[in-house]
């Protein structure tokens, strides 16, 4: 390929990538009308606290959120700049801007790793990943801090010295950690990349990295100190320290590592399975793979139990928990095999160096998080990076791209319809409870708390007044009122309002 042809191809790839980013952002803007779920109202209340200084908003936030006040503060600033947008919309737009940060980062990494397939395809697949897509449309502290972390890491990894770029990277990383503490777990790969550069000298690089770390931690350190002075706790409220506190039980940690690795592999479908399929190119290998997979599945079927937050939400109603265990152990094994093969197949020593840094980052992130309560949304920090282990030129053919886009699109539609149904059924039930004058006497339950929790009485000093009624999931024969939402086949949400004593004793609940 001549230099002119290379420039033409590069320009074409850049236009394609920009088009993908534009389409995805416009699609998310068109979905701003979706009902708020996943406690989005709590982040909006946190933003209102900075505007009105009403302690009720702060109490709402710290009763239900372990995250910092970073995202609510950004929501407040965004609303101050664009006062015609409500706080929830501003926070959702912030999450949507993550696609610009992730897009830039993936384009630069695609170039650094010398990938030989279209970067537009990489962006399309990553952006349409159901986990990334879902949180890209929600005003929570999940995707935006992850995207900012990836952006900062990419800036640090760029060759050459640029004081401006270094300053931007330091500030971006400091903000990312202040928004969500999990961002700090990828900081070691900044140092690993620096130390692994050709000709790097250990002592000067360690000194430079230590200086960078010190500067990055200035902003989150200031936040922690100020929060301690103003709100009386270190890092997170005491109740969340108990919930998210570390566990040193080796079995639990091992289960969490398996669950994270397996979930990551499942999120990389169909590319992760395609990588295994390429390896099975003889009858002998097929027999070995089938036998090994069967044994691993049986072990997981009987020995592994996946926690609720590491499942698939709406799909949980159709999958037996034991099947989750078997599949997760199989996919955990697959992700190890695929990662190893990607490192062996690296196009150049430089590409292998970056892939090793990525692998170390993913492994460290999963390992550390496995000592606390797991949640699949934390994988947003490493999921975009993980695609570099499963996508290559042979797996970027048209048939694979079409299959992936169709699979992801179907899952996105299914998830979106479930979100619509969840929001609709919660709002209907809240209206019914309000019409009966029972808001002060009702325990709303997790579904309504995530959508309309601010309509119900505050907890005062951690104590909840004794409730007389409770909202439960499902159709109860003893319900005072039942509401449902059924926007599409296989998407059906039902809530029942029942006397409190019925909710705590009955088992006769049907979906």
- As a whole number of angstroms, the distance between CA 305 and CA 166 comes to 44
Cβ-based neighbours of 352, under 8 Å, separated by 6 or more: 343, 346
Do 79 and 225 have their domain in common?
yes
Does residue 430 have a pLDDT over 80? Answer: yes
Among 186, 219, 245, the domain-final residue is: 245
Q: By three-state DSSP, how is residue 256 classified?
A: helix
Do 356 and 450 have their domain in common?
no
Among 190, 225, 245, the domain-final residue is: 245
| Confidence category of residue 393, pLDDT binned at 50, 70, 90 | confident
Three-class secondary structure assignment of 156-191: HHCCCCCHHHHHHHHHHHHHHHHHCHHHHHHHHHHH
Closest residue by Cα to residue 377 from 134, 151, 123, 181: 134
Cβ-based neighbours of 311, under 8 Å, separated by 6 or more: 319, 324
How much of the chain, in percent, has pLDDT values that exceed 90? 38
Do 326 and 256 have their domain in common?
yes
- As a whole number of angstroms, the distance between CA 418 and CA 491 comes to 6
pLDDT tens digits for range 147-196: 999 999 999 999 888 899 999 999 999 999 999 999 999 999 999 999 98
Do 258 and 335 have their domain in common?
yes
Do 315 and 430 have their domain in common?
no
Average pLDDT in the chain:
85
Do 239 and 283 have their domain in common?
no
Do 216 and 261 have their domain in common?
no
| Confidence category of residue 46, pLDDT binned at 50, 70, 90 | very high
pLDDT of amino acid 318: 67
Closest residue by Cα to residue 24 from 150, 155, 147: 147
| Neighbouring C-beta atoms of residue 406, cutoff 10 Å | 10
Does residue 218 have a pLDDT over 90? Answer: yes
pLDDT of amino acid 211: 95
Do 119 and 212 have their domain in common?
yes
Do 330 and 234 have their domain in common?
no
pLDDT tens digits for range 53-84: 888 888 888 888 889 999 999 999 999 999 99
Domain holding 450, by residue range, is: 418-503
**How many angstroms from the chain centroid is the CA of residue 381?**
7
Per DSSP, helices labelled H in 304-397 are 321-344, 349-369, 383-386
pLDDT of amino acid 166: 95
Number of domains forming the structure of the chain = 3
Kindly give the pairing relationship between strand 491-499 and strand 442-443: unpaired
Between 150 and 405, name the one with better pLDDT. 150
Between 167 and 292, name the one with better pLDDT. 167
Mean pLDDT of 122-150: 94
Backbone angles phi, psi at 453, to 5 degrees: -60, -25
- As a whole number of angstroms, the distance between CA 491 and CA 511 comes to 11
| Confidence category of residue 8, pLDDT binned at 50, 70, 90 | very low
- This prediction has a pTM of 0.89
Do 326 and 211 have their domain in common?
no
Among 195, 222, 245, the domain-final residue is: 245
Do 452 and 334 have their domain in common?
no
| Confidence category of residue 213, pLDDT binned at 50, 70, 90 | very high
pLDDT of amino acid 258: 87
CB neighbour class for 381 (10 Å; exposed up to 12, middle 13-18, buried from 19): buried
Q: Is the dihedral of CA 348, 354, 356, 359 positive or negative?
A: negative
- Position 476 in a domain: yes
Do 241 and 295 have their domain in common?
no
- Position 310 in a domain: yes
Burial pattern 72-89, b for ≥16 Cβ within 10 A else e, equals: bbbbbebbeeeeebbbbb
């Amino acid at each position: 390929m001549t230099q002119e042809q290379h420039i033409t191809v590069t320009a074409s790839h850049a236009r394609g990538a920009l088009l993908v980013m534009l389409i995805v952002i416009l699609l998310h803007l068109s979905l701003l009308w979706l009902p708020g779920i996943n406690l989005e109202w709590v982040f909006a209340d946190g933003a209102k606290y900075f505007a009105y200084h009403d302690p009720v908003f702060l109490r709402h936030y710290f009763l239900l959120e372990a995250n910092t006040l970073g995202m609510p503060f950004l929501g407040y600033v965004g609303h101050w700049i664009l006062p015609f947008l409500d706080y929830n919309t501003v926070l959702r737009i912030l999450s949507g801007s993550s696609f610009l940060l992730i897009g830039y980062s993936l384009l630069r990494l695609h170039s650094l790793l010398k990938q030989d397939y279209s970067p537009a395809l990489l962006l399309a697949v990553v952006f349409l990943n159901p986990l990334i897509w879902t949180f890209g449309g929600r005003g929570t502290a999940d995707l935006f801090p992850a995207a900012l972390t990836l952006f900062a890491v990419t800036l640090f990894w760029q060759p050459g010295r640029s004081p401006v770029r270094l300053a931007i990277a330091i500030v971006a990383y400091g903000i990312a950690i202040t928004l969500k503490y999990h961002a700090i777990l990828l900081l070691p790969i900044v140092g690993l990349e620096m130390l692994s550069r050709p000709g790097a000298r250990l002592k000067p690089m360690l000194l430079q990295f230590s200086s960078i770390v010190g500067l990055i931690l200035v902003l989150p350190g200031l936040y922690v100190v100020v929060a301690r002075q103003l709100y009386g706790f270190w890092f997170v409220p005491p109740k969340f320290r108990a919930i998210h506190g570390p566990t040193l039980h080796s079995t639990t940690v091992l289960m969490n590592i398996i669950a994270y690795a397996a979930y990551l592999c499942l999120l990389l479908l169909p590319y992760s399975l395609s990588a295994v399929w390429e390896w099975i190119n003889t009858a002998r290998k097929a027999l070995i793979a089938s036998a090994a997979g069967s044994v691993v599945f049986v072990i997981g079927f009987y020995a592994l139990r996946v926690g609720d937050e590491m499942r698939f939400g709406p799909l949980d109603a159709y999958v037996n928990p034991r099947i989750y265990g078997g599949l997760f152990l199989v996919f955990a094994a697959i992700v190890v095999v695929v990662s190893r093969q990607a490192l062996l197949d690296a196009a150049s020593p430089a590409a292998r160096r970056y892939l090793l840094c990525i692998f170390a980052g993913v492994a460290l992130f999963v390992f550390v998080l496995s000592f606390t309560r797991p949640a699949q949304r934390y994988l947003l920090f490493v999921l975009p990076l993980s695609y570099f282990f499963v996508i290559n030129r042979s797996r970027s053919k048209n048939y694979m791209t079409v299959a992936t886009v169709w699979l992801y699109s179907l899952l996105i539609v299914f998830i979106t319809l479930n979100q619509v149904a969840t929001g609709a059924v919660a709002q209907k039930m809240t209206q019914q409870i309000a019409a009966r004058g029972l808001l002060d006497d009702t325990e709303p339950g997790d579904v309504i708390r995530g959508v309309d929790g601010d309509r119900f009485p505050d907890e005062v000093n951690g104590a909840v007044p004794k409730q007389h009624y409770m909202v439960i999931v499902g159709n109860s024969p003893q319900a005072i009122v039942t509401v449902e939402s059924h926007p599409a086949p296989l998407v059906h949400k039902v809530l029942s309002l029942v006397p409190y004593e019925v909710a705590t004793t009955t088992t006769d609940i049907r979906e």
